[in-house]
Structure 1
Amino acid sequence: MEVGIVSYGAYVPRYRIKPEEIGKIWGVDGKSMGKGLFINQKSVPSPDEDVVTIATEAARFMMARVPEVDPKDIGAIYVGSESHPYAVKPTSTIVAEAIEATPAMTAADMEFACKAGTAGIQACMGLVGSGMVKYGVAIGADTSQGAPGDALEYSASAGGAAYLIGTEKIIAKINKTLSFTTDTPDFWRREGQPYPLHGGRFTGEPAYFRHITSAAKMMFDAMGTKPEDYTYAVFHQPNGKFPTRVAAQLGFAPEQIELGLLTPEIGNTYSGAVPLGLANVLDHAKPGDRIFVTSYGSGAGSDSFDITVTDAIEDYQRDNAPVLEKIMQDPVYLDYATYAKYKGKIVMSE
């Protein structure tokens, strides 16, 4: 049975802050910091936006593009995030209610650092492919955290994307998925801590690069493919530097990753990073395009996907919801004080 993407939707908050605005508060050359990370600006959630609202907006856009799909036929919803607003209360049930998919369904929140969204896609593939459910929804969304003055503050941003997984009218067939996982603690946040800690340079070679390249090479071997067999490639993007480097190491050309590389303009959306990159590719994809996708989540693991765009995308009602290029237009720039207020770094005393 063929399983794949039936629809998708994406959302990124309108607010932005530039690295130089952050740097001047901490006595750092923010412009150079941004240049080193390949980040020009990052998205910032407004005070009334969180993972629930971002996931809901993305899911509603997803459903608007397939008006023929009855929400009651959705049998599973998984929301992957590092920043669920409740420690005990699922995000997924709120999203399910918002798109009228309740009550005959299963729902759960997922957490595996920045690959929780792609882990949700894999779970939905299993449920749909086994016949247990007709459709599954997988969402990756975050309002990611970075401690004041920490390097993460220059990149941690907000956004997310939702995917409807099914077997009918598939616009992008998922030919195969596989994963590479180890216990590599490069990044962590304990319960109750507001900001994560990270292993600095340790997050590069033994963590990000080892896992992505290993999963990618496993996929090449499994499918008998090489980089030039793909039209597009999307990699996890904690900054603009890492995915550019790993793509080159694997043999992908710059033009293959261009559409899927959003971090330079919106920052690191954590669980939303790869889902958003894939959404932007699908906004431009044509029948026959082949897409190589590999996510990464600290802790650590990578999920890899081999995807082929089908003829069904020609009749897909993409215009029923805004594409990412439109969503990202007309940003509103914040100063650091407003940014800190919106992110809850400063609060009024009672």
Structure 2
Amino acid sequence: MTVGIVSYGAYIPRYRIKIEDIARVWGDDADILKAGLKVNEKSVPDVDEDTATIAVEAARSAVSRAGLDAQRIGAVYTGSESHPYAVKPTSTIVAEAVGATPVLTAADFEFACKAGTAAIQTCMGMVSSGMIDLGLAIGADVAQGAPGDALEYTAAAGGVACVIGNKESELAAIIEDTYSFTTDTPDFWRREGMPYPEHGGRFTGEPGYFKHVLGASKGMMEKLDTKPEDYDYAVFHQPNGKFPMRAAAMLGFTKEQIKPGLVVPRLGNTYSGSCMMGIAATLDQTEPGDRIFATAFGSGAGGDSFSITVTDRIEEIRNNAPTVEELLADPIYADYAMYAKHKGKIRIA
């Protein structure tokens, strides 16, 4: 059965902080950091924004972009590692906000930065089985990084929602297939009650990111008997600007293929929204018939790959909601003090 993306929507807070402003506080060399990370600035949530509000905005854009009746949505799954409640689902808040309640099923997902794509896979299965008409899969985060930690330079805020369905006349993009590669690799973690995650430093690259991104990507292309030149675009999880470029080169993809979706230099790492943000930015620019190869990565660790073909429907819905480029435009820059206040790094006893 054909299954794919009926609609999509993104949300990025307007506030940003430049790498220089973080480096100045900790005495780091901003030029070296920017050259190494290939990130110039990152998004910062407003004081009243969290994963739930970001997920709601992305979901509303996805529903309005295609003019959907939200009552058709039978499943709402929100992937994040920064849900505002330890016990209270984000997904029920989203379902109520978009008018999908009473929804058949709702749950929150967690698998580091690939929780959103895991939600897409789950919606694909439920739609294909006939259990639901439409599924809403969201990847959203207000990413955490301890003060002075390397993560603080990239941990950003944003989210993307995808409506998954199987009526061919409604599909803006067909998901041809998906493939996952997963192992127990503890490269990144946060224990219950701890405010910030910890990481294995250099081990987050290998055997974390590259083993799983390459494993999932190669498995996907072997499954479909495709190769990099069969695709017009490629998107890889974007913890920084260096890793996706290196992964693309290792797999045989070109800089031109990944450039449209490589938003991390101006956005930072939106964790569960990272790969999905790259897909959304790419869909904003595609033409009917274009093919997109995408691989998400989540620490812990695993990779989810997708092979996507864009349909004529993309031209009917694309301009009905803000594009990623529009969301990145006109930022409001914060200094470190404002950033710390917005992120809750300053706590009043």
TM-score tier, shorter chain, comes to over 0.9
CA contact (8 A) 2:187 2:299 kept: yes
1:184 aligns with 2:185: yes
Distance (whole Å) between structure 2 residues aligned to residue 3 and residue 218 of structure 1: 20
CA contact (8 A) 2:75 2:103 kept: no
Paired AA for residue 326 in structure 1: E
1:70 aligns with 2:69: yes
Paired AA for residue 116 in structure 1: A
* 1:82-140 deviations in Å (ceiling 9; x for gaps): 00000000000000000000004200000000000000000000000000000000000
- Deviation, 1:347, is 2.8
Distance (whole Å) between structure 1 residues aligned to residue 103 and residue 119 of structure 2: 19
Paired AA for residue 7 in structure 2: S
* 1:6-38 deviations in Å (ceiling 9; x for gaps): 000001111111111101111111232122100
CA contact (8 A) 2:5 2:162 kept: yes
CA contact (8 A) 2:183 2:302 kept: yes
Q: Which residue of 2 aligns with 1:215?
A: 216
Q: What pairs up with 1:119-158 in 2 under 5 angstroms?
A: 119-158=118-157
Paired AA for residue 320 in structure 1: N
State TM-score, norm by structure 1. Answer: 0.98
Distance (whole Å) between structure 2 residues aligned to residue 156 and residue 296 of structure 1: 15
Distance (whole Å) between structure 2 residues aligned to residue 317 and residue 255 of structure 1: 25
CA contact (8 A) 2:294 2:305 kept: yes
1:206 aligns with 2:207: yes
Structure 2 CA distance for partners of 1:104 and 1:19, relative to 1, 3 Å: closer
Unpaired stretches in structure 1, ≥5 consecutive residues = none
CA contact (8 A) 2:70 2:99 kept: yes
Distance (whole Å) between structure 1 residues aligned to residue 284 and residue 320 of structure 2: 12
Distance (whole Å) between structure 1 residues aligned to residue 103 and residue 91 of structure 2: 14
Paired AA for residue 274 in structure 1: C
Paired AA for residue 102 in structure 2: P
Q: Which residue of 2 aligns with 1:263?
A: 264
Q: Which residue of 2 aligns with 1:326?
A: 326
Q: Which residue of 1 aligns with 2:229?
A: 228
CA contact (8 A) 2:63 2:69 kept: no
Paired AA for residue 150 in structure 1: D
Identify which range, 182-191 or 58-67, moves more after superposition: 58-67
Q: Which residue of 2 aligns with 1:57?
A: 57
Distance (whole Å) between structure 1 residues aligned to residue 103 and residue 246 of structure 2: 45
Q: Which residue of 1 aligns with 2:44?
A: 44
Find the residue that maps to 1:85 and give its secondary structure.
Answer: coil
- Deviation, 1:320, is 1.9
Q: What pairs up with 1:1-350 in 2 under 5 angstroms?
A: 1-67=1-67, 69-168=68-167, 169-314=170-315, 316-349=316-349
Find the residue that maps to 2:284 and give its secondary structure.
Answer: helix
- Deviation, 1:149, is 0.4
Find the residue that maps to 1:113 and give its secondary structure.
Answer: coil
- Deviation, 1:307, is 0.5
Paired AA for residue 20 in structure 2: E
Paired AA for residue 110 in structure 1: F
* 1:129-162 deviations in Å (ceiling 9; x for gaps): 0000000000000000000000000000000000
- Deviation, 1:318, is 2.2
Distance (whole Å) between structure 2 residues aligned to residue 296 and residue 12 of structure 1: 20
- Deviation, 1:80, is 0.1
Unpaired stretches in structure 2, ≥5 consecutive residues = none
Find the residue that maps to 1:346 and give its secondary structure.
Answer: coil
- Deviation, 1:311, is 1.9
Distance (whole Å) between structure 1 residues aligned to residue 348 and residue 185 of structure 2: 39
CA contact (8 A) 1:23 1:31 kept: no
Paired AA for residue 26 in structure 1: W
Paired AA for residue 114 in structure 1: C
Distance (whole Å) between structure 1 residues aligned to residue 208 and residue 103 of structure 2: 40
Distance (whole Å) between structure 2 residues aligned to residue 291 and residue 321 of structure 1: 21
Distance (whole Å) between structure 1 residues aligned to residue 121 and residue 175 of structure 2: 10
Paired AA for residue 289 in structure 2: G
CA contact (8 A) 1:155 1:239 kept: yes
Find the residue that maps to 2:106 and give its secondary structure.
Answer: strand
